[in-house]
Chains A and B, each alone.
Chain A
C-alpha cells in the first residue's frame, strides 16, 4: 500500500529557479492539501483541493501555485523560488467530503540558496 508519494524527498535549489513538488495518492481520496513545516511554526496550509478540478488558498499561498487535473495528483509549483521558501513540504489527503483524518506523505525537504 503506497498511500501518498512525494517527490523529490530532498532538493537544493538556486533562488529564482522554478520547482515543482510532486504528490500522488493511490487511495482515491477527494481532498488534498499542501503544508509547509518550519521549526517553531508548526504546519501551515499553503493550498488545498476539495476535489479534482478545484483548488483553494490556505494560510500562506503567496509564491506557490497548485493544480488538480485528476484525483490522484496534486503538484505544488514554486514559480521563482526564494530563500524564505526553504522548508519541509508535506502533501496530505482526506477521503471524503465530511470530516476525517488526513493521510500524510513523508515530506519533501527543499533548500533555496
Chain B
C-alpha cells in the first residue's frame, strides 16, 4: 500500500500555540495534499504542494515537502479552538494518467481554549 502515515496520531495544544503534524509516504509522488475533517463531516481540502516545491503557505498554514525523505509537515500557527479537527495528508500516486489519491491515517488535533 502507498498509504501515508501521519505523526503524531493525536495532538493536544493550547489556543495560540503552533501545531505541527508530519506525514511520511512510501513511493515517489507528483504532489501531496493536506485535508481537514471535522467530526462527522466530509474532508475539506487545505493545501496542495507539488513534488518540485519545498514550502508553501496559505494563511496560517505552512506546508513543507522533503522528497528525499518522503515526508511532509503541516504547521498551523496561532491555533484556535476552531482548528480542532483531524488532518490528513494525501499523496498523488499517479500512473499512466490515472490519478489516485492515497490518504494517510490522520492526526487528531485538539486545541484547548
Contacts and interface: CB of A to CB of B under 8 A. Distances in A.
Interface in A95-110: 97, 99-107
Contact of B103 (A31, A44, A56, A103): A44
15 contacts: A44-B103, A45-B101, A59-B3, A92-B43, A94-B99, A97-B97, A97-B99, A99-B92, A102-B35, A102-B43, A102-B45, A103-B45, A104-B43, A105-B42, A107-B42
B21 to A, nearest CB: 13
Interface string A73-104: 00000000000000000101010010111111
B46 to A, nearest CB: 9
Contacts, number: 66
Interface residues of A, number: 28
B90 interface: yes
Interface of A: 4, 31, 33, 35, 40-45, 48, 50, 56, 58-59, 90, 92, 94, 97, 99-107
Contact of B105 (A42, A56, A58, A102): A42
A40 B42 contact: no
Interface residues of B, number: 28
Interface of B: 1, 3, 30-31, 33, 35, 40-45, 48, 50, 88, 90, 92, 94, 97-106
B103 A58 contact: no
Contacts of B48: 99-101
A42 B30 contact: no
A35 B100 contact: no
Q: Which 7 A-B pairs have the closest CB atoms?
A: A104-B42, A101-B45, A42-B105, A43-B103, A104-B43, A106-B42, A42-B103
Nearest to B45: A101
Given A50-B99, A99-B31, A44 B44 contact: no
Given A43-B88, A97-B97, A99-B30, A59 B1 contact: yes
Contacts of B1: 59
A33 B42 contact: no
B64 to A, nearest CB: 18
A105 B101 CA distance: 16
